[in-house]
């Protein structure tokens, strides 16, 4: 099972009998973060491992992981560089497929379809032990997209059919295929594809959302084909809340008008109009409601509603103009963006802030103005840059703490150094080494030389007292030779020789014991020397350990952080400018639309007034004020 | 009257067109890039518009700064001569569903981790968790890990694994591994010192 999981994307660390080497543990740790979707941490893990020389015995595996993480982080140039650096010669067949998979993702991102298909052709996962072909949903999804791009919708359908029902890729694949069929004019296939999408299990919120979109699309296609009942049935399945509710209601009301059920249409339009707030559905309802009333032969109420629509459109235009003016203020705009960015985390405080900044507008208005793929990307980047800036703002505190720690280590390093000096460990070591050396050479001499009655031999074994006696005898002999008469000398020399002989026999008799004592002394000396060496080693290690980090140039860190802060600020300003432009454009778009609605409402008012006047030529100009209007009985 | 009827028809067309445009643009016009919460499917979610190159450069510089900071932090806080790191890996895991792990060094608890489903899944898929990193004195130490979770047949399961660590000047790495023993139909818990 695990070997299968390890197959295409990245290779896992497979079990080994003993503990894994550190390289494998480090690589596995990066995978652990990656599998929890913390790609930035995973990428950081591999970069740290690389800097520490822990790429491991499989550098290809390491590079593929690094490139994949970088790709997921949106660092496309970097991931391309990493993949380009992978040596073809070192690739196993499985690695070749992994590389093809990662490159395919890159070509899919660039929408480079021929190259994408070239890479996909290299991926063949073979069959499992039951003989069933192994597929990867993302591979089939990309194959379907490539087939759609070259207009081969049959191939796209075949590729989509291979994706498992529980993969989110199937929802995206089916939706895009349905869109392609619709664009190709094959509405029947588009219907079937959207219907298949509708039958998918709601494995995630994203799939659920796509299914809603697909239902709406099915209704639109059915309406195009004049199958009103089908369209109604599909729309009826849409939930009564959510982002597609207004669109569904507007479409539903349009359908009702198509079929001449103006009573129903009026109810729906009124529901939309009275729900509070502004939306494209509500704007359409301001016009749709009076139009339905006209069809229901309630011209006075229709005129009143047209006037209400005119007023609403005018108010909206005024608010939009005022807001567009305020959007030129950078600080105000930044607060808006911050409120929007925090809306996912703290929706209530975000709404409160947005309410302060523009009371007439809701969060949906702001999002609507920013709703396009390019702007979404800029907004995402702006949020990322904000995160970076927040991290960089915290960095000086962290660096200060590290600098303090490094300083403490430096102090301890100095303490370790002084320990070496204060306790004169090196001098003691020199003395002990000299003693050991002397004893070693004495024992070596004793082993090589036989016992002999000489001062040199005896001094090798003599104790301090005997050595002093030997020296005294030597001095006495010299004295005799120098000062005594020649005839007296032999007698005294014989006496000295006799004394030396006594000493010799005394030493020779206890020679074995003395050599044993010397050996013990040597061992003791060696133990002492080893002990001193160990202490010196520990103190040296402590010194080296405390020195770690001390050499770090915190100034350089600070300078790098400062340069990066400037870059982040510049990039963020750039995004804010782009978002400000996008917001204003969004507002302008809406203003143009509202102006069109306003124009339509005014024409309708003129027409309805004429109509009422024509219907009652003898009467005074009809009173269309609110108080005089009768109830139509239309209720949501 | 005819003019009025013509206007109504025109307006109705406009209105229907507006609602149709709105619906079809939202529903069909956009071709979404696949976005997935499946960690095995990262490319599709990144398949939207390319991130601008300046932000890529900023990201790279920031990552390099973070990398150097992590290395500095490790060197400062966990020097090699006292560093002891504990990793946890899982091989297969069919016979054991991990709930928590507690690590004791010389009888003193130093780490306790309660696993979310996602974390356990990351281990199951081949990830290795750096469970603990800390400092110990040089010499012999006894490390014990207690694993709790659900064993075969969903029974509560608690087992321990012990390893002796002889800490030297070099950093010490201990791997805790949860393995399936297909012969015994039981999980096995192994603690070993990595080279």
State the pLDDT at residue B63. Answer: 94
Whether residue B2 is predicted with pLDDT greater than 70 in this model: the reply is no
* Most confident stretch, A157-166, A291-300, B44-53: A157-166
CA separation for the pair A130, A45 (Å, rounded): 38
B122 close contact with A: CB closer than 8 A: yes
Nearest to B125 among A12, A73, A545 (CB): A12
Tokens 């006209």 -> residue:
A294
A33 close contact with B: CB closer than 8 A: yes
- Torsion, Cα B11 B16 B21 B27, to 10 degrees, reads 160
Q: Which residue has the higher pLDDT, A205 or A116?
A: A116
φ and ψ of A475, to 5 deg? -65, -40
Q: Count of CB contacts below 8 A, A vs B?
A: 323
Whether residue A470 is predicted with pLDDT greater than 60 in this model: the reply is yes
Whether residue B54 is predicted with pLDDT greater than 50 in this model: the reply is yes
Residues of B in contact with A574 (CB under 8 A): 54
CA separation for the pair A559, B37 (Å, rounded): 38
Total residues found in chain B within this entry: 195
| A122-131, A420-429, A578-587: range with lowest mean pLDDT | A420-429
CA distance B168 to chain A (A): 11
Nearest to B26 among A137, A182, A247 (CB): A247
Average pLDDT over residues A481-487: 82
Whether residue B49 is predicted with pLDDT greater than 80 in this model: the reply is no
The answer to whether B176 and B131 are in contact (CB under 8 A) is yes
Whether residue B184 is predicted with pLDDT greater than 80 in this model: the reply is no
Quick one: tokens of B23? 């619906």
Average pLDDT over residues A517-534: 88
State the pLDDT at residue A537. Answer: 77
State the pLDDT at residue A586. Answer: 84
**Helices A554-615 and A299-326: crossing angle, nearest 10°?**
160
Beta-carbon-side half-sphere exposure of residue A529 (alpha carbons within 13 Å): 14
Work out the number of other CB atoms within 10 angstroms of the CB of residue A73: 23
> Would the CB atoms of B175 and A76 count as touching at under 8 Å?
no
State the pLDDT at residue A151. Answer: 92
Residues of A in contact with B42 (CB under 8 A): 9, 39, 68, 71-72, 105
Q: CB neighbours of A80 closer than 8 A, spacing ≥ 6? A: A67, A106
B71 close contact with A: CB closer than 8 A: yes
Work out the number of other CB atoms within 10 angstroms of the CB of residue B116: 9
Nearest to A25 among B19, B72, B194 (CB): B194
- Of B164, B72, B70, nearest to A26 by C-alpha is B70
State the pLDDT at residue A542. Answer: 67
> Would the CB atoms of B67 and A51 count as touching at under 8 Å?
yes
Write the pLDDT tens digit of every residue in A138-158.
999 999 999 999 999 999 999
Whether residue B3 is predicted with pLDDT greater than 60 in this model: the reply is no
Q: Which residue has the higher pLDDT, A151 or A280?
A: A151
Average pLDDT over residues A508-521: 86
- Of A187, A202, A96, A108, nearest to A148 by C-alpha is A108
B6 close contact with A: CB closer than 8 A: no
Quick one: tokens of A395? 């960095």
Write the pLDDT tens digit of every residue in A312-330.
999 989 988 888 888 788 8
- What percent of chain B lies above the pLDDT cut of 90? 46
Nearest to A549 among B14, B34, B76 (CB): B76
Q: Is A185 left (phi over 0), alpha (psi -120 to 50) or beta?
A: left
* Most confident stretch, A101-105, A449-453, B18-22, B28-32: A101-105
Write the pLDDT tens digit of every residue in B26-40.
332 223 333 333 323
Average pLDDT over residues A169-174: 93
Give strand pairing partners of B139: B167
Q: Which residue has the higher pLDDT, A199 or A125?
A: A199
- CA-based Rg of chain A, rounded to a whole angstrom? 46
pLDDT band per the 50, 70, 90 thresholds, residue B169: confident
Write the pLDDT tens digit of every residue in A229-241.
776 676 666 665 6
State the pLDDT at residue A108. Answer: 92
State the pLDDT at residue B138. Answer: 85
Give strand pairing partners of A133: A127
A65 close contact with B: CB closer than 8 A: no
State the pLDDT at residue A545. Answer: 63
pLDDT band per the 50, 70, 90 thresholds, residue A226: confident
A280 close contact with B: CB closer than 8 A: yes
Q: Nearest chain A residue to B47 by CA: give it.
A: A109
Q: Which residue has the higher pLDDT, B6 or A69?
A: A69
CA separation for the pair A290, A286 (Å, rounded): 7
A475 close contact with B: CB closer than 8 A: no
The H-assigned helical ranges of chain B are: 2-24, 42-45, 53-77, 117-124
Whether residue B165 is predicted with pLDDT greater than 90 in this model: the reply is yes
ipTM exceeding 0.85, yes/no:
no
* Full DSSP string of B33-52: PP--S-TT-HHHHT-SSPPP
State the pLDDT at residue A566. Answer: 92
User: What is the average pLDDT score of chain A?
Assistant: 82
State the pLDDT at residue B38. Answer: 32
Whether residue A216 is predicted with pLDDT greater than 60 in this model: the reply is yes
CA separation for the pair B19, B13 (Å, rounded): 10
B51 close contact with A: CB closer than 8 A: yes
In the structure, how many helices (H) and strands (E) does chain A have?
27, 0
The three-state (H, E, C) secondary structure of A419-463, written as one string:
HHHHCCHHHHHHHHHHHHHHHHHHHHHHHHCCCCCCHHHHHHHCC
Write the pLDDT tens digit of every residue in A77-90.
899 899 889 888 88
**CA angle, A36 then A39 then A43, to 5°:** 130
Write the pLDDT tens digit of every residue in B102-141.
999 999 999 999 999 999 999 998 899 999 999 998 899 9
- What percent of chain A lies above the pLDDT cut of 70? 86
Tokens 């990867």 -> residue:
A136
Q: CB neighbours of A171 closer than 8 A, spacing ≥ 6? A: A197, A200, A206, A207, A210, A211
State the pLDDT at residue A347. Answer: 66
State the pLDDT at residue A11. Answer: 72
State the pLDDT at residue A26. Answer: 92
* Most confident stretch, A286-290, A343-347, A357-361, B183-187: A286-290
Write the pLDDT tens digit of every residue in B67-110.
999 998 888 889 888 899 999 999 877 788 999 999 999 999 99
A202 close contact with B: CB closer than 8 A: no
pLDDT band per the 50, 70, 90 thresholds, residue A14: low
Q: CB neighbours of B129 closer than 8 A, spacing ≥ 6? A: A29, A32, B87, B88, B89, B113, B119, B122, B123
Write the pLDDT tens digit of every residue in A26-60.
999 999 999 998 999 999 999 999 999 998 888 88
State the pLDDT at residue A343. Answer: 63
Average pLDDT over residues A550-570: 85
- What percent of chain A lies above the pLDDT cut of 90? 22
Q: CB neighbours of A48 closer than 8 A, spacing ≥ 6? A: B67, B70, B71
The answer to whether A395 and B68 are in contact (CB under 8 A) is no
CA separation for the pair A213, A194 (Å, rounded): 9
> Would the CB atoms of B173 and A19 count as touching at under 8 Å?
yes
Whether residue A570 is predicted with pLDDT greater than 70 in this model: the reply is yes
CA separation for the pair A518, A589 (Å, rounded): 104
Q: CB neighbours of A309 closer than 8 A, spacing ≥ 6? A: A286, A287, A289, A290, A597, A601
**CA angle, A89 then B195 then A402, to 5°:** 95
């Amino acid at each position: 099972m695990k070997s299968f999981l390890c197959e295409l994307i990245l290779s896992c660390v497979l079990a080994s009998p003993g503990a894994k080497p550190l390289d494998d543990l480090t690589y596995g740790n990066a995978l652990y973060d990656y599998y929890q979707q913390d790609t930035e941490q995973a990428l950081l893990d591999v970069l740290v491992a690389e800097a520490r020389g822990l790429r491991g015995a499989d550098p290809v595996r390491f590079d593929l992981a690094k490139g994949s993480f970088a790709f997921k982080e949106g660092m496309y140039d970097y991931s391309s560089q990493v993949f380009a650096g992978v040596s073809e010669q070192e690739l196993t067949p499985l690695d070749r497929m992994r590389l093809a998979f990662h490159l395919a993702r890159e070509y899919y991102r660039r929408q480079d379809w021929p190259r994408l298909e070239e890479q996909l052709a290299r991926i063949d996962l073979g069959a499992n032990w039951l003989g069933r072909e192994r597929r990867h949903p993302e591979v089939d999804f990309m194959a379907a997209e490539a087939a759609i791009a070259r207009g081969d919708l049959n191939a796209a359908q075949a590729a989509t059919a291979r994706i498992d029902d529980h993969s989110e890729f199937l929802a995206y694949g089916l939706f895009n295929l349905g869109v392609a069929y619709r664009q190709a004019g094959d509405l029947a296939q588009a219907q079937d594809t959207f219907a298949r999408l509708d039958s998918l299990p709601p494995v995630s919120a994203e799939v659920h959302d796509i299914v809603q979109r697909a239902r709406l699309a099915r209704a639109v296609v059915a309406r195009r084909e004049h199958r009103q009942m089908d369209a109604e049935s599909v729309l009826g399945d849409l939930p009564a809340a959510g982002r597609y509710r207004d669109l569904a209601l507007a479409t539903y009301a349009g359908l009702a008008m198509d079929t001449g059920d103006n009573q129903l249409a009026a109810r729906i339009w009124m529901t939309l109009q009275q729900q509070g707030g502004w939306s494209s559905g509500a704007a359409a309802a301001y016009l749709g409601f009076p139009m339905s009333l006209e069809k229901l032969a309630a011209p006075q109420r229709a005129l009143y509603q047209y006037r209400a629509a005119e007023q609403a459109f005018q108010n909206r235009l005024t608010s939009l103009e005022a807001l567009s003016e305020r959007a030129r203020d950078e600080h105000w705009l930044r607060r808006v963006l911050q409120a929007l960015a925090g809306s996912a985390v703290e929706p209530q405080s975000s709404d409160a802030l947005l309410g302060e900044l523009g009371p007439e507008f809701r969060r949906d208005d702001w999002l609507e103005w920013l709703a396009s793929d390019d702007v979404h990307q800029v907004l995402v980047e702006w949020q990322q840059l904000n995160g970076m800036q927040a991290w960089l703002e915290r960095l000086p505190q962290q660096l200060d703490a590290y600098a303090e720690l490094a300083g403490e280590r430096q102090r301890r390093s100095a303490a370790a150094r002084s320990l070496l000096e204060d306790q004169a460990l090196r001098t003691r070591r020199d003395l002990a080494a000299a003693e050991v050396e002397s004893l070693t050479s004495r024992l070596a001499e004793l082993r090589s030389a036989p016992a002999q009655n000489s001062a040199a031999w005896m001094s090798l074994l003599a104790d301090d007292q005997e050595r002093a006696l030997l020296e005294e005898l030597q001095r006495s002999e010299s004295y005799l030779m120098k000062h005594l008469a020649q005839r007296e000398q032999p007698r005294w020399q014989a006496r000295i020789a006799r004394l030396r002989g006594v000493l010799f026999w005394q030493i020779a008799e206890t020679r074995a014991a003395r050599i044993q004592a010397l050996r013990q002394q040597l061992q003791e000396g060696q133990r002492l020397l080893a002990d001193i060496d160990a202490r010196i080693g520990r103190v040296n290690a402590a010194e080296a350990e405390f020195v770690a980090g001390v050499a770090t140039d915190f100034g350089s860190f600070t300078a790098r952080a400062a340069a990066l802060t400037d870059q982040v600020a510049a990039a963020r300003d750039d995004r804010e400018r782009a978002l400000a432009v996008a917001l204003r454009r969004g507002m302008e778009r809406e203003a143009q639309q509202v102006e069109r609605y306003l124009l339509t409402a005014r024409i309708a008012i003129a027409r309805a007034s004429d109509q009422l006047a024509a219907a009652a030529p003898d009467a005074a100009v009809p009173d269309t004020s609110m108080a005089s209007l009768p109830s139509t009985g239309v209720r949501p | 009257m005819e003019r009025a009827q013509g206007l109504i028809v025109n307006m109705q067309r406009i209105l229907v067109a507006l609602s149709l445009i709105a619906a079809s643009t939202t529903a069909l016009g956009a071709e979404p890039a696949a976005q997935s919460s499946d960690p095995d499917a990262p490319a599709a979610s990144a398949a939207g518009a390319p991130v601008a190159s300046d932000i890529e450069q900023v990201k790279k510089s920031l990552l390099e700064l973070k990398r150097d900071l992590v290395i500095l932090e490790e060197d400062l806080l966990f020097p090699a001569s006292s560093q002891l790191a504990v990793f946890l890996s899982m091989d297969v895991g069919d016979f054991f569903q991990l709930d928590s792990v507690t690590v004791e060094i010389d009888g003193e608890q130093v780490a306790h981790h309660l696993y979310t489903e996602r974390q356990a899944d990351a281990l199951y898929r081949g990830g290795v968790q750096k469970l603990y990193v800390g400092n110990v004195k040089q010499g012999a130490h006894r490390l014990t890990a207690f694993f709790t979770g659900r064993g075969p047949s969903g029974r509560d399961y608690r087992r321990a694994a012990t390893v002796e660590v002889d800490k030297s000047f070099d950093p010490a790495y201990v791997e805790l591994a949860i393995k399936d023993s297909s012969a015994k139909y039981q999980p096995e818990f192994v603690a070993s010192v990595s080279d």
